[in-house]
Amino acid sequence: MALENLISVTFTEDELNKLTQGIDTIKEVLLGKTVNLTPEQRAQYGRIANQNKLIVDKAKNYMEQHPSWIPNFLDKEEFDRDYSTRQQIETHVQLLENLSQQLVDTKTLLDYDNYSNALSFYRMMRFLAGENEPGAKSVYQDMKVLFKKNGGITPDTPDTEL
């Protein structure tokens, strides 16, 4: 019985080069303009939720309507730059997250196909080893150690964390 192939995709060398060049271009543009927070810093600063975005938008609107009400310790020009840049970045973050998820999902299906085929090969080696096919027993024994016993994966049960 043939296995179901969930996905079949390849990239040419030219496509891979373009992909790498595109990523390099993105890295070049972002160089010196982005930061890497530590996990602790991410927890400290968090993410702005939709409700808080509404607060920021409302405050910006009122600041523009009533500039005299802006506290003199608040740098409105910096606020506006941060606001504008944040909007520019958000659009690109959403696009890149979507592309990243597509790549991860494609890789997941490729991994599943590869693993399913590897299991089929392993089962064939187990069969051939039982039939005393020359060389099959050593291949079977070598692969057999990769399968955990007692609750781990078995040759008939794919590991869900490929």
What's the alpha-carbon Rg for the chain, to the nearest Å? Answer: 27
Q: Give the whole-angstrom CA distance, residue 131 versus residue 119.
A: 18
In the prediction, which pLDDT does 162 show?
46
Which is nearest to 79 in space by CA: 59, 52, 55? Answer: 59
Q: Which residues, other chains included, contact 70 with Cβ-Cβ below 8 Å and sequence gap of 6+?
A: 63, 76
Q: Is 62 among the domain residues? A: yes
- Residue 156's pLDDT band (cuts 50, 70, 90): low
Q: 118-145: b or e for each residue (b if 16 or more CB lie within 10 Å)? A: ebeebeebbebbeeeeeebbebbeebee
Residue 30 lies in a domain: no
In a domain, 124, yes or no: yes
Domain for residue 8, yes or no? Answer: no
Please enumerate in sequence order all residues whose Cβ is within 8 A of that of 106, keeping only pairs 6 or more positions apart, or say none: 7, 9
CA–CA separation, 93 and 111 (whole Å) = 26
Query: Which residue range(s) make up the domain with 97?
Result: 39-147
Tens-place pLDDT, residues 61-105: 999 999 999 999 999 999 999 999 999 999 999 999 999 999 999
- Kindly state whether residue 117 falls inside one of the protein's structural domains: yes
Q: Which of 32, 8, 10, 7 is nearest to 19 (CA)?
A: 10
Query: Based on the structure, what is the number of domains in the chain?
Result: 1
Q: Does residue 82 belong to any structural domain of this protein?
A: yes
Domain assignment present for 155: no
Question: Within a domain: residue 156?
Answer: no
pLDDT in tens, 18-72: 999 999 999 999 999 999 999 999 999 988 888 999 999 999 999 999 999 999 9
DSSP 151: S
Query: What pLDDT was estimated at residue 153?
Result: 53
In whole angstroms, what is the distance from residue 155 CA to residue 88 CA?
A: 49
SS3 assignment, position 32: coil
